């Protein structure tokens, strides 16, 4: 597991995770940046996915090809909106669902943003605790996982600081 500051749209991994809404309309925030950099293929495949499967759930992310991005896939995970209730469980499900989908796609590396901490308003340090615990739990329960790299790619200094506090409190070592 790695914690880095950077632009998730530049990550050279098998898949990046998009902080999506249930209808996969990629207008602003991380989703907007991914759609702009990746090109129209991402929105077209997202529209087709929703038309075929319906709105995306917290437990089951969608995925599309990555278009012009340096990765192969975009996993579209729906995190909770702060204040809607049961946020920690929904965020944990979105992270676990993303990891499970990466496993089904036979990926070895992925990058995740600070899901739900932008326009969805989830407090950064609280989200960091849930996200890091979800990743650690996933690997504890899936020791034969083919995923070798899970990189938390965080855009701004405030988010890096919040995640670093939780990272250190959990006794994690390695890249930061």
CATH of the domain at 113: 3.40.220.10
Q: In the predicted model, what is the mean pLDDT of residues 24-41?
A: 93
If you average pLDDT over every residue of the chain, what do you get?
A: 94
User: Could you report the per-residue pLDDT of 138-171, keeping only the tens digit for each?
Assistant: 999 999 999 999 999 999 999 999 999 999 888 8
User: Could you report the per-residue pLDDT of 50-61, keeping only the tens digit for each?
Assistant: 999 999 999 999
- Contact between 119 and 82 under an 8 Å Cβ cutoff? The reply is no
Residue 41 lies in a domain: yes
Residue 18 reports pLDDT greater than 80: yes
pTM exceeding the 0.75 threshold for the entire prediction? yes
Residue 114 lies in a domain: yes
- Contact between 118 and 158 under an 8 Å Cβ cutoff? The reply is no
CA dist 105 and 45 (Å) reads 17
Residue 176 lies in a domain: no
Phi, psi of 53 (to 5 degrees): -110, -15
pLDDT at 27: 87
Q: In the chain, at which residue ranges do the beta strands (DSSP E only) sit?
A: 2-5, 15-19, 62-65, 73-77, 109-112, 149-154
Residue 5 reports pLDDT greater than 90: yes
pLDDT at 29: 84
Residue 132 lies in a domain: yes
pLDDT at 64: 98
pLDDT at 176: 39
Count of domains in the chain?
A: 1
pLDDT at 174: 58
Task: Let me know if 12 is exposed, middle or buried by CB neighbors in 10 A (0-12, 13-18, 19+).
Answer: exposed
CA dist 90 and 64 (Å) reads 22
Residue 174 lies in a domain: no
- Contact between 16 and 75 under an 8 Å Cβ cutoff? The reply is yes
pLDDT at 172: 80
Which domain, by its residues, includes 71? 2-169
Residue 84 lies in a domain: yes
Residue 102 lies in a domain: yes
CA dist 105 and 76 (Å) reads 14
Q: In the predicted model, what is the mean pLDDT of residues 24-49?
A: 94
User: Could you report the per-residue pLDDT of 66-102, keeping only the tens digit for each?
Assistant: 999 999 999 999 999 999 999 999 999 999 999 999 9
Residue 6 lies in a domain: yes
């Amino acid at each position: 597991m790695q914690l880095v500051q950077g632009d998730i749209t530049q990550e050279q991994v098998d898949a990046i995770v998009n902080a999506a809404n249930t209808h996969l309309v990629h207008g602003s925030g991380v989703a907007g940046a991914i759609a702009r950099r990746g090109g129209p293929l991402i929105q077209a495949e997202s529209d087709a996915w929703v038309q075929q499967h319906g709105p995306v759930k917290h437990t089951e992310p969608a995925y599309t090809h990555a278009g012009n991005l340096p990765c192969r896939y975009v996993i579209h995970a729906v995190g909770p909106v702060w204040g809607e209730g049961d946020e920690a469980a929904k965020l944990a499900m979105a992270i676990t669902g993303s990891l499970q989908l990466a496993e089904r796609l036979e990926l070895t590396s992925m990058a995740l943003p600070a899901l739900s901490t932008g326009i969805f308003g989830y407090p950064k340090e609280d989200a960091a605790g849930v996200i890091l615990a979800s990743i650690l739990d996933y690997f504890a329960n899936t020791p034969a996982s083919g995923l070798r790299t899970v990189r938390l790619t965080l855009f701004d200094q405030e988010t890096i600081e919040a995640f670093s506090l939780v990272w250190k409190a959990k006794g994690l070592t390695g890249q930061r």
